[in-house]
Amino acid sequence: MAKPNHQLREPARILIVDDEPSVCRSIEKVLHRAGYQTVTTLSASAALDALQANQDLSLIITDLMMPQVNGIELLKIARTNWPSVPVLVITGYASIASAVEAMQLGAANYLAKPFTPEELEDAVRRALRPEPSASDPTADAGKETTGQPDVTYDLTEAEMVVGHWAEPTLPADAPSILVIDNEVVVVNTVRKIFSRKGYHVEGAFTGGEALQRIQERSYNLVLLDMRLPDFDGLQLLSRIRDIKPDAAVMVITGYASLDTAVEAIRRGAAYYMAKPFTPEELLQATARVLGREKSD
């Protein structure tokens, strides 16, 4: 088997995989102008032949939708056999679901077509020179964060549980979930869904409160909203992963986007889900994250 390129050398040699020749030509033009060398193939099978031929490749750029072997399958094969060669996924059929899947499978980046030359060059640079991981305490260096909430919440746990429903009595060893969201109705709804399935649920309305809870105890799952009064969700995700590197964090957001989905997975999120969602969708996602065959 071909040996992967372990060290980036200039100019980097990039493998382009797309079944549309016009797309390949456009990408080649941009990359050549930026000083990269390229190898172009029109199918995943041809790309595998190029990888086997040991052409000293530094990056794979692959389309997602291709006949026979698609981009996801090529990504899986590449990550197994050439793990040190990063893969940039491009697609004209972008979706948050496919972005999350690609990043979870080890893609270095995900880019939706059509893209500008500048967007392509930036995606390539990020793939070739990854940023610090979420567990790196300097990952958010230089970014403004605040340790205290900008909004004061006078809600207690008792006040949070509203209406005629109350959490059933659960055993002490029941799996625990922390819901981080500044909307009381969201925390209430999630608490109700999970409690009926045997989970113990706690709520945190600010990032500061969430960090304190996470420092004090471990949770089987953390549900994290992207918009909080005192923290950006991505920054808080990095902080959580720094405190508890093995924490299973699922991002939930009413402002879903491809960029934040990709970045959340890059920073260690186990899953990314857009609001609104049904109870079934939430339970299915939770079962997937926790590796359970069923959600009860």
Interval 254-271 mean pLDDT? 94
Q: Which residue has the higher pLDDT, 139 or 243?
A: 243
155 has pLDDT over 90: no
Q: Record the tokens describing residue 271, joined without a space.
A: 């899953």
DSSP 8-class letter at 267: T
Question: What is the structure's pLDDT at 291?
Answer: 83
Residue-wise pLDDT for 278-296, tens only, equals 899 999 999 999 885 343 3
Map residue 13 onto helix, strand or coil. Answer: strand
User: What is the C-alpha separation between 118 and 232, in angstroms, rounded?
Assistant: 26
Determine which helix (DSSP H) or strand (DSSP E) holds 240, and give its type and residue range: helix 233-243
Domains 13-128 and 157-290 belong to one CATH topology: yes
User: What is the C-alpha separation between 280 and 153, in angstroms, rounded?
Assistant: 30
206: confidence class by pLDDT, cuts 50, 70, 90: very high
Q: Residue 288 CB: number of other CB atoms within 10 A? A: 14
Q: Nearest-CA neighbor of 94 among 124, 132, 64, 139?
A: 64
Domain 13-128 class in CATH: alpha beta
CATH architecture of 157-290: 3-Layer(aba) Sandwich (3.40)
CA angle 101–107–110, rounded 5-degree value: 80
Question: What is the structure's pLDDT at 154?
Answer: 39
Q: CB–CB of 268/224 below 8 Å? A: no
State if pTM tops 0.95: no
> Any idea where the domains of the chain sit in the sequence?
13-128, 157-290
